[in-house]
Copies of this chain bind each other. A is one copy, B any other.
Amino acid sequence: MSRPSVHPFDVEVPQLREPDNRAVPERMKDVQGMPGTPAGLALRVFQSGFAAVAVAVMTATNDFPSVTAFRYLVAALSLQCLWSVSLAIVDLYALLVKRCLRNSKILGFFTIGDAITSTLTFAAACASAGITVLIHSDFNDCAQNHCARFETSTAMAFVSWFLVSPSFFLCFWSLASR
């Protein structure tokens, strides 16, 4: 007999392989804050919450449409709110059915979306901050303007941007480290 006899304990465990027969590389562990994790869901909820507050506070002033930057802030933060709410729903679904959102197409889509919305949000927050400081410090004209509301809305926009950044970086990192 040239064929060696197979002992049950000698059976080699087959290595996990991807469809194209490459060995599966070592994957990054599930870092909290990535899509499909509880912290990721929390980030999305807070992002959309702060964006909604920024829009609500800004639209509560009657004279915001006279300044282009404030109109832009309302538009950009509304988009941010919609995007974050959508991804919160996706995260919630992934958590409920215990599905992993570690597909490179999904991650690429989330990364690009986060990059665009966070850039728009940050631009809106900075433009509004520029105008707010101009009215408050340079013109000293808070008597005729709703300085407090403009400042609150700008601050909320910055907080919303600050909460989008970790989502973006974690998506980008896990996309790059695949």
Contacts and interface: CB of A to CB of B under 8 A. Distances in A.
Interface stretch (A12-20, A99-107, A123-131, A141-149): A123-131
A174 B108 CA distance: 17
Interface SS of A by simple majority: helix
A81 interface: no
Given A123-B126, A126-B122, A127-B126, A134 B69 contact: yes
A126 B177 CA distance: 32
Nearest to A68: B133
Contacts of A119: 122
A130 B70 CA distance: 9
A137 interface: yes
A6 interface: no
Contacts of A68: 130, 133-134, 137-138
A110 interface: no
Interface of A: 66-69, 119, 122-124, 126-131, 133-134, 137-138, 172-173, 176-177
13 contacts: A67-B138, A68-B137, A69-B130, A122-B126, A126-B130, A127-B127, A127-B130, A127-B133, A130-B130, A131-B134, A172-B176, A173-B176, A177-B177
